[in-house]
Homo-oligomer: A and B are copies of this chain.
């Protein structure tokens, strides 16, 4: 077990009708608020009007930036930074899913520096030492951006989609109201749930010994997502289901489960190249990749973790042969993604072509190898991509 620093100070208002606290929370950071969001969905659901009303009631000055894209672009970040600087914004309020929240994180960081925000990304990334405070209202359970230090931004000019971690961009306050996800359709619910599961499995599948109690927590979240995602799809207004998915989305990636572990992630870098090249939904790419990655990594050394996963998450009989449990657990996971959630199961169906594998694999391994559960070279990544055809 490695040493760690636990430091997750995001305050969360969880539940229905918590927006009455929005004004006072924003006001604690200042009077000039930049509200940023995506398309018109928050207007259709009436959320926009409620938010604006709370901001007005608190006597705050409101600025707006809408049109943040799915797979958000650096252009939107630049525009947000420009507004923050020219309007002397005190706090950014992001309303939406992971894309809007991620873009807002780098507006907050960009507002505190003189250089272009794209310089926060890549091999010679500039440091993020401070940032404007960020408050979020979440409308999609998936990326966990509402409580974490990460963001992913696309640059269409360079065809890059790059992630960045930095403490100062973690949201200060997040409003998590499960009823705001009632309107999320079946496909997006499925993709979001796949994203949450992937965040858990990227940490869970590790050869290092962590804390047993954290294993139990990860398994509890895995079971909860596997139980509640199909319920949320069948009954979009099931509060228990939406609440469990929402809280799991935050805790899968806020940093708590990774405390004491150091293993790199594997499926995320492999997937980011898919969505950078083909603009597919992140969670769909993860769902297709993850079972193949598990299959590719399975060997005698790693076997015990698969067995624990199969027994504790899927309830597979612990008296079976270990290898049989491992294979059955991969099959159960595939069935969950492709039958229970109804996601497409391979690259062919979604138009991802073998001719791009070498290029994408090289980009996924930009620092040489992916040092995750099993070390993967570009050649390994290509093989995993091939298994997805």
Interfacial chain B residues near A240, Cβ < 8 Å: 1, 209
A212 to B224, CA, bound (A): 6
Size category of the binding interface on chain A: 35 or more
Question: Is B5's CB under 8 angstroms from A13's CB?
Answer: yes
Tell me which residues across on chain B come within 8 A of A1, comparing CB atoms.
15, 239-240, 243
A39 at interface, CB cutoff 8 A: no
Task: Identify A14's interface contact among B5, B11, B14, B219, CB under 8 A.
Answer: B5
| B212 adjacent to A223 (CB under 8 Å) | yes
Task: Collect the chain B residues with CB atoms within 8 Å of residue A217's CB.
Answer: 213, 216-217, 220
Contact partner of A216 (CB less than 8 A), chosen from B17, B223, B228, B239, is: B223
| Cα distance, A211 to B243, chains bound together (Å) | 8
User: Hey, which chain B residues are within 8 Å of A259, CB to CB?
Assistant: 14
10 closest A-B pairs by CB: A216-B220, A3-B15, A9-B9, A6-B12, A213-B224, A217-B217, A212-B224, A7-B11, A213-B221, A213-B220
A sample of 6 more A-B contacts (CB under 8 A), given A15-B260, A214-B220, A216-B217, is A1-B15, A6-B11, A6-B14, A213-B224, A217-B217, A243-B260
Task: Pick 13 A–B contacts, CB within 8 A, sort by A.
Answer: A1-B15, A1-B239, A3-B13, A3-B15, A3-B17, A6-B14, A9-B9, A14-B260, A209-B240, A212-B220, A213-B220, A216-B219, A219-B220
Residues of A at under 8 Å CB distance from B? Answer: 1-9, 11-18, 209, 211-217, 219-221, 223-224, 227-228, 239-240, 243-244, 247-248, 251, 259-260
